Structure 1
Amino acid sequence: MQTNLSEHARTLPRADEAESILRSCVHCGFCNATCPTYQILGNELDGPRGRIYLIKQLLEGEPVTAKTQLHLDRCLTCRNCETTCPSGVTYHALLDIGRAELERRVERPASERLLREGLRRVIPHPAVFDALLKTGRAVSPFLPDAIRRKIPKRAIAPKARPAPRHARRVLMLEGCVQPSLSPNTNAAAARVLDRLGISVSGAPQAGCCGATDYHLNAQEAGLARARRNIDAWWPAVEAGAEAIVQTASGCGAFVKEYGHLLRDDPAYAARAERISAMTRDLVEVLAAEPLDALRAAAGRRIAFHCPCTLQHAQKLGGAVEGVLQRLGFDLTSVPDAHLCCGSAGTYSITQPALAESLRKNKLDALESGRPEVIATANIGCQTHLDGAGRTAVRHWIELVEEALP
């Protein structure tokens, strides 16, 4: 694709990267065939190829409007298009660049600004999120049905975690909303890892991975959180921690990008690159271990929902399924497993109609094999799918831990 960036666009910090990505696109349109929003809306501008043209026009100085913003907002950033693209277009990076510039040029309505600021004030702060969640549950009997249905049901209480006792040590990101929405997930992960001779060390100073801020176009705030996490983890890294384990694939996908996003920061570039290299989704750790030692008595019939951040961003499609099958679980077939469930971080809140349509399609596919339970690898997907009140949705590591003697 030929480009002619405006003088202003050439001054942007990632101008060269944007131009390189634009020029790598050959307009083939294969991406539209696997784009969830294009499949639902049927509008070229609601598919990756159309959005790339919109970003190209934006960076070439052509007029942009709220409609331009709407088409970019509707993108789930599921990165399915990147899996499909024969030319290796790093679409998500271009989208980040385009959204950031569009945010500067088009002022959002007050209601949208308030919603986005509210999400940024709540989601990355576990104590605030937990307090609001408990309040919502307490008053739910008095709320309208439409609002009450959006309040997540009570989660399974966490069991005790084993004290660190092994020579092998890993760090684990606790997450923002997961401690409230699924508090047993990280505890179950710690217990399974302990059975394999791996201890989880705490890093209480680490907080939100930064994805919520970054993907709501508060990119500098997101990078500031990344730097704080690097500082929090660094003493343990220097002390010999072998990995930074993520039980939420959305967080893992973002932490694995720290090195790229901070590559021009002289104070953090080298450390960020090392942190990204050390980051492992939980399934990467388990897949490399002798699982026979767990002596799991599995046998449940499971449908596995592979989050977009696991299969398209981290390229780990099939990894969890492989571990579950090694442990004896009976996995059902899931049609169109590559498509997004509609959670996509805060997307289910900012684009509720599209998110609900995608959720229905995904649950229909997941339930087609009549599973006892649906398993997934990301707290956002888990909460979004479970919120429909259909087949129960759990994190896969909890099901593994429950199968252990």
Structure 2
Amino acid sequence: MQTTFTLEQLCESHTAASEKILRSCVHCGFCTATCPTYLLEGDELDSPRGRIYLIKDMLEGGKPATEEVVKHLDRCLSCLSCMTTCPSGVHYMHLIDHARAYVEDTYRRGWSDRLLRTLLAHVLPYQARFRLALRAAALARPLMALLPKGRDPAKEDQPRLFDRLRAMLELAPTTLPIPPAEQAATPQIANGTARRRVVILGGCAQPVLKPSINAAAARLLARQGIEVVAAKGEGCCGALVEHMGREEQARVFARANIDAWMAEIETGGLDAILITASGCGTTVKDYGFLLRDDDVYAAKAAKISALTRDISEYLTDLPALPARPNASVIAYHSACSLQHGQRVTDAPKRLLREAGFIVRDIPEGHICCGSAGTYNMMQPFFARRLRARKIANIEKLHADIVAAGNIGCLTQLEAGLSMPIVHTIELLDWAYGGPAPEGLIVAN
């Protein structure tokens, strides 16, 4: 793709990076075949190629984002399926993140849009606030039927406030698990002295919604003689706010995590930084790019990104343990952030098979379930349709359990499934001697 940026524009780091990405696009259109919103709408502007044209025009002209541009960029899930499909290696993730930051700087949204985005940015990344918000949502859930229904969302540029509120209430759990601080202590290392030392990202939403996931990971690692340490001061990875165009807030979260992990590296060393939420993993692995212009943090960020691994990647390098007999059929849902963002595709399925499960791939497994961070709250019309499509494909397999490696997918799919959906690591922990995951009916 030819570009006409000025030398002055290319002096700005973000623009220079985006210009290189734009020039790598050859307009082939392969991306349209795997883009969820294009599959739903058939609108070229709701495809990666169409959005690339909109972004190019906006950035080259140095003009404020328009309502039309914002509409189509907001509809993008950042599922990154287009990156897996692209034969030219177009790094769409960096391009759409830059475009969203540009929109945030140049476009004034309607009051309800601004309100909800601000609310999400100041609640979801903070565990205590998020837990309080979920409790409030549980109390408000009986009032959901009183919310007025908007017009057909397909005919509007942005979903209406009431539809978004309804989506938030639908996704909120009716009860919350025990907070992590009240759970049992970190499991003891099997066979004495630890042979490796790792940290598992706690994050923000997952410890509130499913603290059992990291607890299962710690137990499983302890059986392998691996010490899991808590890094004081770590928190949200920054993904949620970065995908809303709040890039500086994302950098603040990234720097805090880097400081926390570097302190552990300098005091006791770390074999790896492990992530059990694949959406977070994609972001942490990209810290080197996010902080590339930061003189203080650039080198440290690159080091942290190099140490970061999805929990399934790390476990494949460890010796196999004896598993309890289990012939449950697993429908494996590959989260977009894992298969497209991190290109980790085989490791989780291989681990499940080694643990004795029968693993089946879901038809159209490359298509997003509609979760995508805050997307299922901000774009509920598309998210619900994608969830229905995913569940229909899952049910074709007649599986006993659905497995997934991302908290967003678990939350998105749980409401509509007729079978339990469990994090991959909880199933592995169960297979190797841990407790049965919540919601499973286990035969004696």
- Length-normalised TM-score, structure 1: 0.95
Secondary structure at 2:422 match in 1: strand
Which residue in 1 is equivalent to 2:159? none
Q: Aligned partners of 1:260 and 1:142: how far apart in 2?
A: 44
1:21/1:154 CA distance change after superposition, 3 Å: same
Q: Aligned partners of 1:226 and 1:150: how far apart in 2?
A: 27
Moved over 6 A (4+): none
Question: Would the aligned equivalents of 1:6 and 1:59 in 2 still touch at CA under 8 Å?
Answer: no
Which residue in 2 is equivalent to 1:150? 171
Which residue in 2 is equivalent to 1:225? 253
Which residue in 1 is equivalent to 2:131? 130
Residue 403 of structure 1 aligns with an amino acid whose one-letter code is A
- Alpha-carbon offset, residue 166 of structure 1: 1.5
Q: Is it true that 1:268 corresponds to 2:293 in the alignment?
A: no
Which residue in 2 is equivalent to 1:111? 112
Q: Aligned partners of 2:322 and 2:297: how far apart in 1?
A: 39
Residue 75 of structure 1 aligns with an amino acid whose one-letter code is C
Q: Aligned partners of 1:8 and 1:117: how far apart in 2?
A: 33
Question: Would the aligned equivalents of 2:9 and 2:16 in 1 still touch at CA under 8 Å?
Answer: no
Question: Residue 256 of structure 1 is aligned with which of 275, 285, 290?
Answer: 285
Q: Aligned partners of 1:166 and 1:187: how far apart in 2?
A: 18
Question: Residue 162 of structure 1 is aligned with which of 187, 194, 214?
Answer: 187
Residue 162 of structure 1 aligns with an amino acid whose one-letter code is P
Q: Aligned partners of 1:150 and 1:175: how far apart in 2?
A: 19
Question: Would the aligned equivalents of 2:405 and 2:423 in 1 still touch at CA under 8 Å?
Answer: yes
1:51/1:143 CA distance change after superposition, 3 Å: closer
Residue deviations 1:207-248, cap 9 Å, x none? 100111111111011011101110011121122110000000
Question: Would the aligned equivalents of 1:58 and 1:102 in 2 still touch at CA under 8 Å?
Answer: no
Question: Would the aligned equivalents of 1:9 and 1:59 in 2 still touch at CA under 8 Å?
Answer: no
Secondary structure at 1:14 match in 2: helix
Secondary structure at 2:331 match in 1: strand
- Alpha-carbon offset, residue 163 of structure 1: 4.0
% identical equivalent positions: 46
1:144/1:246 CA distance change after superposition, 3 Å: same
Question: Would the aligned equivalents of 1:210 and 1:221 in 2 still touch at CA under 8 Å?
Answer: yes
Question: Residue 200 of structure 2 is aligned with which of 158, 163, 172?
Answer: 172
Question: Would the aligned equivalents of 2:351 and 2:428 in 1 still touch at CA under 8 Å?
Answer: no
Question: Would the aligned equivalents of 2:196 and 2:226 in 1 still touch at CA under 8 Å?
Answer: yes
CA RMSD of aligned residues (A): 1.8
Q: Aligned partners of 1:355 and 1:142: how far apart in 2?
A: 22
- Alpha-carbon offset, residue 98 of structure 1: 1.6
Residue 90 of structure 1 aligns with an amino acid whose one-letter code is H
Q: Aligned partners of 2:346 and 2:177: how far apart in 1?
A: 27
Judge which range, 70-79 or 96-105, deviates more. 96-105
Q: Aligned partners of 1:43 and 1:139: how far apart in 2?
A: 37
Which residue in 1 is equivalent to 2:420? 392
Q: Is it true that 1:30 corresponds to 2:30 in the alignment?
A: yes
Which residue in 2 is equivalent to 1:379? 407
Q: Which runs of 5+ in 1 are unaligned?
A: none
Question: Would the aligned equivalents of 1:298 and 1:400 in 2 still touch at CA under 8 Å?
Answer: no
Question: Would the aligned equivalents of 2:391 and 2:417 in 1 still touch at CA under 8 Å?
Answer: no
Which residue in 1 is equivalent to 2:438? none
Which residue in 1 is equivalent to 2:18? 18
Question: Would the aligned equivalents of 2:102 and 2:245 in 1 still touch at CA under 8 Å?
Answer: no
Aligned pairs for 1:270-289 (under 5 A) are: 270-289=299-318
